[in-house]
Structures are given as structure tokens and as C-alpha cells.
Amino acid sequence: MSNIPFSLNLSRRMRRNRSAAAIRGLLQETKLHQEDFIQPLFFHDGQGGAKEIDSMPGIVRHSLATLLEECHQLVDLGLSAVALFPCIDPAKKDLLGAHGLDSENVLYRAIRKIKKTFPDLLIITDVALDPYTSHGHDGLLNEQGRVENDATVEILMRLALLEAEAGADIVAPSDMMDGRVKAIRSTLDGKGFQETAILAYSAKYASAYYGPFRQAVGSEKKTAPVDKQTYQMNPANLREALLEVKLDEEEGADMVMVKPAGPYLDVIRAVREVTLLPVVAYQVSGEYAQICAAARLGWLDYKSTRDEALLAIKRAGATMILSYFSKEVLTVLKS
């Protein structure tokens, strides 16, 4: 063998740009910033403080008192927005979700308390009936057990208005009913809430990744899981998502969402390419639970997998990310 090192005589060596941490940092194309994140928060109307959620390690259902404490910590970390999800007492649920129209229910009280204490913290509220219905569906059922679109939209208009009146900055219809964005926009504008934004769950898939969330808000049905395929999207479809985004944009949505995020990076990218609106991605409970579970078993490195998953969502084109990792990522970014 010759003592002269073999050389390929390459003019372009890509590894030069990866040779040290400093140059890798300078050339990194996608970076996570505190402004990228929205923290989902669960809460209940009971006493005794926060309650752990078994399927979502580190995530809790807050009482109203601990909810305010959590918001204080998030504000100190520089978080701009929270998304609120109430867990309603089963005794207050019925077939029509009537408790959703009670202006003194726990959601509206939580909005008012947070807004009074932290006026600059953006509040995003879910517009759907599933937290309030005994059957767990996002709308009103007809005699055949199917969700009635137009009758449901009429209730959603009232829910959105109540949320805006309580102080929500952004209402987020997650129901996937046809025409609900236009109806909500008209209702809000007609009542003087032109400044209240609409974040449309435009491409919300009928996903198996929602299980831990349904446990968190108490809408799961263990004996007969709720089948939402007649209104949430088929996971096999992409072009349909683009049409949903187009319709929501035409109806007055200020932002659009893709949910879930990680398994639907192609959808996020495609949506990003067809709209100029902000694109929000929801890294859902099942995505969070998978990473936590695999890390606890020693199969994955927790921090590296968490950060890679979030970078992939942003790289795909997300403007903002709803993630249960938000608080801990902001803690890292601040340090």
C-alpha cells in the first residue's frame, strides 16, 4: 500500500459544512423559536388541584387555581398563546350538549380569569360539542345516530360567540362541519367581534392518534369508541385536505390547521404551498404519548426524538405548533 493518502479529488465535499457544531449551527435551515409554540391546557371544575393524566406523562388536568399558576409560568417563559380544553363533569353532559351554552360553565370562567390576570396571553378556544355531549360526538345526532350538519353549526355559532364574549382571542372550530367558518364569522361580526380570529381545523383527520386526548377531556368511550369518520377526514386523502383549506379560507378563516402533525407532514407541506394563511400543526396526544412511552422503555432518546419531531413539523411548513412539549421546549430555549 502507498503511504500517499488516496484522494477522490472532489470539488464539492458536503461534509465540510457538517464538520463542527459551530458550522452546523450557522447553516441550520430550520430552527425552533419560542414564538412557534402553543401550549394546550386541560382543566376541570373540581377541587384538589391538578390531576395527572395516565396516558400523557407530565400533562395534567388543572383546577382553575392551578390553571392560573400554569399560565403564570408559561408567560414567564415567553409563551404567546394557550389552547384551552375543558374536562366537563359527566353529570352535566346530555345528548344536546346544552351545558356548552351555559355562560357560567368552567370554560367561560377560565377564559375570564386568565384574561383578567394575563391580558396579553392569547387564548385559543375549541368550538365543538364533544366536551359537552353524553355520546362524545362533535355535533347533534339525528334518529339514525348521524351528526346533523346544519343544526350543529347553529349551536357552534352560539358557542363561538360565548367564547368571544368571555374574552377568547381566537376561536377554533374543530368539528369539521361544512359551512361552520362562514357562519361563525358572520355571527362574530354581527355582534361586534370583528377582531376575534378564527383558526379553522381545516384538515382534521379521523385519526387513531387522539386516544390520550379523549381520556384527558373525558370523552372516550371504552365499550364502543366514538366513530367520527362521517365528518373527520379519511387518513388516506390529501387532495381533499386542500379543498377543505380552500373552502375555509374563502369562508373567512384567519388561520388553518392540520391535525395530526407528525404522520401528516406531507399534508402540512401541501397546505403550505396552496395558502398564504398561517398554517398551524397540532402535534396530538398520541404523538406525544408515543415518544414518552418509547423513551421510558429506553428505546429512544427522549430529548433528541422530541426535538427532531418538532423540527420536522416546522420544516414541513408549519407556522405554529400546538404541542404538549411546548412548556419544556420553551424552558430549554430560555436557558
- What residues does each domain of the chain span? 32-334
The pLDDT assigned to 306 comes to: 98
Closest Cα to residue 266, out of 276, 254, 274?
274
32-334 topology per CATH: TIM Barrel (3.20.20)
The pLDDT assigned to 229 comes to: 95
The pLDDT assigned to 224 comes to: 64
What number of other Cβ atoms are within 10 A of residue 239's Cβ?
8
The pLDDT assigned to 7 comes to: 84
pTM over 0.85: yes
CA distance 280 to 266: 14
C-alpha cell at 267: 399534508
- The end-to-end CA distance of the chain, in Å, is 52
Active site residues: 204, 259
Q: Which residues of the chain have pLDDT under 50?
A: none
Residue 262 identity (one-letter amino acid): G
The pLDDT assigned to 77 comes to: 97
The pLDDT assigned to 58 comes to: 94
CA–centroid distance for 24 within its chain? 31
Q: Do the strands 60-62 and 51-52 form a parallel or antiparallel pair, or are they unpaired?
A: antiparallel
Note whether 329 and 288 are within 8 A (CB): no
The pLDDT assigned to 218 comes to: 76
The pLDDT assigned to 237 comes to: 98
CA–centroid distance for 235 within its chain? 17
The pLDDT assigned to 131 comes to: 94
The pLDDT assigned to 59 comes to: 96
